Every structure is written in structure tokens, then in C-alpha cells.
Amino acid sequence: MRKMQKRVYVVAADTTVFLGTGRKEFHPKKPRPGLEHYIAEAGKGVLAQISDPEAVDEGVVGNFMASRFNRQGHLGAMMAVVHPSLAGKPSLRVEGACASGGLAVVTAIKSVLAGQADLSLVVGVEVQNTVKAIYGADILAGAGHYAAERKSGHAYYFPAKFSDRAGEYKKRFGAERTWAAMGRWYEQAVRNARLNPKAQEFHNTTTDLFSTHQTMAPNPKSFCEHINVLDCSKVSDGAAAILVASEEGLKRTGRKKSEAVELVGFGHSTADLTAQPDDLTVLDTTRRAAREALEMAGVAVRDVGVFEVHDCFTISGILACEALGLAGHGEGADYVLSGATRRDGPTPVNTSGGLVGFGHPTGASGVRMAADLWRQLTGRAGDDQVKIPSERPHGIFASMGGNDRTVVSCVFRRAA
């Protein structure tokens, strides 16, 4: 079993507003910020928290499809917009579909573990509101095996993939309880987002979220067979950033160890992109990555007090609860219906809104998960802070790319 060879920390974190439909300031016909703005805002927000920005050794950008959404590649060379001292230092962009942000986090971790950097600035970014939704669905279909599946696939390619997962789950484990759990997940996501001023659903004023979801029956003629639009994470623009440090790097930031979280385990797993999932009701790759992270950390899921999962759709949130070991196979819907994943439950999940509530700028979501765990574990989460029990001092995230084809998972605890 792999072990951490040295101590690695997340020292600081920041996120921008996740902008898109639902935010009062969003207007599709008015000019909006671009990639440079978001990279600079999130990165500067992190560097403002340390004593010397010039101490940063390198940069890592997580991004999925700027080359198509924005006609812009070469994002590693854009890091100097954060601080002039980053010009001339190594920086690169990594990609793994919707797990691009998670991959960026792990890339920085590996660099620090290898002794190639003591301070690595990680920025995850995506600007997606540049095309109509139907064209965006085609771009995002690149997270699947485009050559084999796109032409014959659904117009809304990935919603249809997870609609199929929802349909199979309903068939095998009960349609009524599955649909109810999906509604409760949506309700939970928006309620959490209402406590987070940067969330895309922060301005959502719907009175009865659960009933609104339940009465909006899936319509295969206009969308998908087993999910509705409320089951989906929204199209978002935004960025998140964290600073990954060695012990020496932590000293150079001028921050106290109590202001950091320590990485105690990580996992990275991939599946065959050209193959179909063995079982639509199981997130195998998520399960492997999370198990690997927990084993490296030497802890069990019962030792985790706060969770971040990749709920690109409400059904994936339910399946992720099973993949992380919170519930058995086929028991995820009941686990959600029990209230266990709410912020006042024993295992709070996606406390700032998750992908459904906070938003999903694809390349940013994995970094945002790490940022939110840093906020929670250091007591800096503001209105969306939850209590972390002393007997469950860890946080875990699982950042998923595509239809559970690439997954990164990290386990943190407050540094001491």
C-alpha cells in the first residue's frame, strides 16, 4: 500500500463567483469576463493570503475545453496574469474532462512530493457560456468516446448518459424512492448554495424546492427520459485556486500550520474511455479512487466528517455516496432520504452547493472541492460552515471526469 513520503499541505484557497443562468448579474447578451479574468481573480485571491507571492515555484492550470469554448489553448502560459513573478517559472495545463481540476490538484501534489516545487499554485478554470446549450452539449461530449458514440448519441449527450444511469437505478431499486431522493438532493444543493454568495444558485428563491422538482416530470421529447433539467448542474463560468505546499513551502508563506490542511492520502483511477460501464448503477472508478485515497490515509469513511462529491447530476450524487462507502449498493437513495447528507446530518455532503448548487465550470470543480474542504476544515466557511466532529476530523473529495472514466480523490485533515 502506498504511503505519503513527505507532508503536503493546502495553505490557502479562493473561488470566484460561478456565473451563469440564475445569477442576477448574468445576461447572455452582455459582455462577460473571460479566461484571463477568472484565472487572475482566483489566483490573486490565493496569493493575497500569503506574505510573499514571489515564493511560488510553479503553476498548474486545470481546464477541459477552452480550445473549443474560447478558442484558446496554451493556458499554462497565462499564469503570469496572476502575478508578474510567475513569468519564467514552470507552468502547465492538465486535462481530464470534468476531473481536470482534480488532476491539477494531484499534479501539484506529485510535484511537491517529488521535490520539484515547494509552493505550487493551482487554478481550475472554465468559461462555457460562450455558445448555446445545444452546442455546449456537443463540446462536452468530448469527455466521452466521441468517435464511436457522438453521432448516434442523444443531442444532450451527457445528460442522456446519466439519465440512463437514473433509469437503471429506478428499475432495480425502486422508481418512486429514487425520484424522491433525486428531488431531495436538488433541494439540499440549492439550500446549501443559498448560504454561499458565490454560488450560481445563491439567488434561487423557489419556495418549495422538493415539490418543484417532483412535479417536473422527465420529458424525453424535449430533454431526457429519466431526469429533468433540475437534476443537472448548470452551465457555468468561473475559477477556483489553491496553494499546495511542502513543509518548507508552508514556512515561506508566513502562514501558521493551523491555517492549513494536510493531505493524508490521494487516489487517481481511470477506466477505458472506449468501453461502456459494466453496471450503470455503480461508479466503479470513483470507488477505486476513493478507496485508494482512504487506504493511503490509513482511515475509513467513518473517520470523515465532511464530503465533496461530483454531483454533475442528482443521480451521480446518490451513486457517489455508495461509491465512497456511505451506503451499500442500492441503498444510496434511502441514505439521502434519511437526511444523512444534509448539512445538519452525520455526513454533510457538498456544503457550499456542489455542482448542482454552486455550479460546474468543468475545469474548476475539482479545485473548488479542495478549496471548500480547506474552508470547512479550517473553520473559514462562513455561513455554510458545518461542525466537524473531533472523532471525524477528515474531509474527502472525489472529482469525476466523463461517465466515471477518470476520478481523482483526496483526503485532508486540519494540520497540527
Query: Do 218 and 247 belong to one domain?
Result: no
The total domain count for the chain is 2
In a domain, 170, yes or no: yes
DSSP string, 2-66: ---SS-EEEEEEEE---BSTTSTT--TTS----HHHHHHHHHHHHHTTSS-GGG--EEEEE-SSH
Query: Do 93 and 184 belong to one domain?
Result: no
In a domain, 145, yes or no: no
Catalytic, out of 98, 232, 312, 410: 98
In a domain, 245, yes or no: yes
Catalytic, out of 154, 310, 360, 394: 360
Q: Which pLDDT score is estimated for 1?
A: 60
Query: Do 191 and 211 belong to one domain?
Result: yes
Radius of gyration over every alpha carbon of the chain, rounded to an integer in angstroms = 20
Q: Which pLDDT score is estimated for 413?
A: 97
In a domain, 147, yes or no: no
The CA distance from 384 to 368, in Å, is 14
Side by side, the strands of the sheet bearing 8-15 are: 91-94, 58-62, 119-127, 237-245, 8-15, 261-270, 406-414, 394-401, 304-309
Q: How far is CA 405 from CA 291, 382, 397, in A?
A: 16, 34, 16
The answer to whether 232 is a known catalytic residue is no
Query: Do 272 and 349 belong to one domain?
Result: yes
Is there a contact between 122 and 46 (Cβ–Cβ < 8 Å)? Answer: no
All cell numbers assigned to 393 = 476530523
Query: Do 104 and 243 belong to one domain?
Result: yes
In a domain, 13, yes or no: yes
Query: Do 273 and 217 belong to one domain?
Result: yes
Q: What is the pTM of this model?
A: 0.97
The CA distance from 42 to 381, in Å, is 16
The H-or-E segment that residue 410 falls in is: strand 406-414
Query: Do 295 and 397 belong to one domain?
Result: yes
All cell numbers assigned to 49 = 493570503
Ordered per-residue pLDDT tens for the chain, 416 residues: 678 889 999 999 999 999 999 999 999 999 999 999 999 999 999 999 999 999 999 999 999 999 999 999 999 999 999 999 999 999 999 999 999 999 999 999 999 999 999 999 999 999 999 999 889 989 999 999 999 998 888 888 999 999 999 999 999 999 999 999 999 999 999 999 999 999 999 999 999 999 999 999 999 999 999 999 999 999 999 999 999 999 999 999 999 999 999 999 999 999 999 999 999 999 999 999 999 999 999 999 999 999 999 999 999 999 999 999 999 999 999 999 999 999 999 999 999 999 999 999 999 999 999 999 999 999 999 999 999 999 999 999 999 999 999 999 999 999 98
In a domain, 143, yes or no: no
In a domain, 57, yes or no: yes
CATH value at residue 382: 3.40.47.10
Q: Which pLDDT score is estimated for 140?
A: 93
Residues of the domain holding 164: 156-230+266-414
At which of 243, 259, 275 does a domain end? 259
Query: Do 90 and 164 belong to one domain?
Result: no
In a domain, 3, yes or no: no
Query: Do 208 and 99 belong to one domain?
Result: no
Backbone angles phi, psi at 268, to 5 degrees: -145, 115
Query: Do 77 and 172 belong to one domain?
Result: no
Query: Do 162 and 73 belong to one domain?
Result: no
Query: Do 30 and 121 belong to one domain?
Result: yes
